[in-house]
Amino acid sequence: MMKHIEEVKNNLQDEIKLVTTLKDADQLKIKYLGRKGIINDLMRIIPTIPSDQRASFGQQINSLKVEITNIIEELIKKFSSETVPKAKKEIFDVTLPGKHPFVGKRHPLTQTIDDIKEVFARLGFDVAYGPEVESEYYNFEALNIPADHPSRTDFDTFYIKNDVLLRSQTSTVQIRIMEKQKPPIRIIAPGRVYRPDTVDARHSFMFHQVEGLLVDEGVSFADLKGVLNQFIKTYFGQNVQMRLRPSFFPFTEPSAEVDISCSICGGNGCSVCSYSGWVEILGAGMVDPNVFKAVHYDAEKYTGFAFGMGVERITMLKYGINDIRLFYENDMRFLSQF
């Protein structure tokens, strides 16, 4: 048996002298260490020899395999380094301007939400959050929205199953907060909402809202007007005007649509404001007593107001953007402008 091993060693030494390229080294590796190579041939001999010699012969084969592996790997390493072309010497001009790496920025919607939170923080409002997957109770019933209201159909709400849905408004957060906390309450609730709208330049099936709520004793519609006017002047500028138009929402009474003078044309009329000089930015009103009843508040003692604004609409007005789809396309040419 030792004769076989010595013969393999001698043959290997002779063949090493003939290796001159990386290809030769690879072929030598296959010949000795491959699946049908010489080492495997030696391993097949083991079962044919006497049992008392098998262990010793197996150890010698393993030692030979390690020795051959090291020799061939050194050859491969040697010829691999010789085949790699030497890198050209790079000429570095220290007078050239440096290459500026791309630095990420906050998404314009995130910037707008942060700016809105900052304004209302100055007015004493805390920030509250709630789940995006809601029940019909929080999304409709507790907000005084009747069972036959159009918004409760599949055409206006994403239902997951039975009474479980994706919230269509962040007003759900005000119910959850009032269930856990007694007045005074002063919060805003930013977050994503979902409605099965057809996607176009002004609509998306997912968008962002900021809900506001203030509840205490003696809160009036004048307080609502004052808070909203302060927000608009701070966010859009002192020259922007505000007006309120009577409206209806199931969870507020009385209710109003809030418009501002178009920041794009300065109120003179353009395509953004449909040449009216005014743009609607949010809905608001005094909290309906039925909403207080759902959270066990004494409507005779407490009053409050609520408002809700679309973050995309606010951002579009702030930066003169005419297509809501730009916010979700991840186009760096657009995002890098903010």
Residues 78 and 140 placed together within one structural domain of the fold:
no
Q: What's residue 32's pLDDT?
A: 81
Domain containing 161 equals: 108-335
Residues 112 and 72 placed together within one structural domain of the fold:
no
Q: What percent of the chain has pLDDT over 70?
A: 95
Alpha-carbon distance of 159 to 133, in angstroms, equals 10
Give all strands of the β-sheet with 278-287 in edge-to-edge order: 126-127, 185-194, 206-216, 303-310, 278-287, 252-261, 242-249
Largest interatomic CA distance in the chain: 108
Q: Does some domain include residue 101?
A: no
- Residue at 242: amino acid letter: M
The per-residue pLDDT for range 81-133, each reduced to its tens digit, is: 765 555 556 677 888 888 877 777 889 999 999 999 999 999 999 999 999 99
Residues 10 and 115 placed together within one structural domain of the fold:
no
Alpha-carbon distance of 4 to 16, in angstroms, equals 18
Q: Does some domain include residue 152?
A: yes
Q: Does some domain include residue 88?
A: no
Question: Is 0.75 topped by the overall pTM?
Answer: no
Q: Are 122 and 325 in contact (CB under 8 A)?
A: no
The per-residue pLDDT for range 40-62, each reduced to its tens digit, is: 887 887 788 787 777 787 788 78
Q: What's residue 1's pLDDT?
A: 59
Total structural domains in the chain? Answer: 2
Q: Does some domain include residue 127?
A: yes
Q: Which residue has the tokens 């760096």?
A: 332
The per-residue pLDDT for range 254-269, each reduced to its tens digit, is: 999 999 988 777 777 7
Q: What's the CATH number where 257 sits?
A: 3.30.930.10
Q: Does some domain include residue 256?
A: yes
The per-residue pLDDT for range 1-54, each reduced to its tens digit, is: 567 677 777 787 888 888 888 888 888 888 888 888 888 887 887 788 787 777
The per-residue pLDDT for range 297-317, each reduced to its tens digit, is: 999 999 999 999 999 989 988
Q: Alpha carbon 1 to chain centroid distance? A: 68
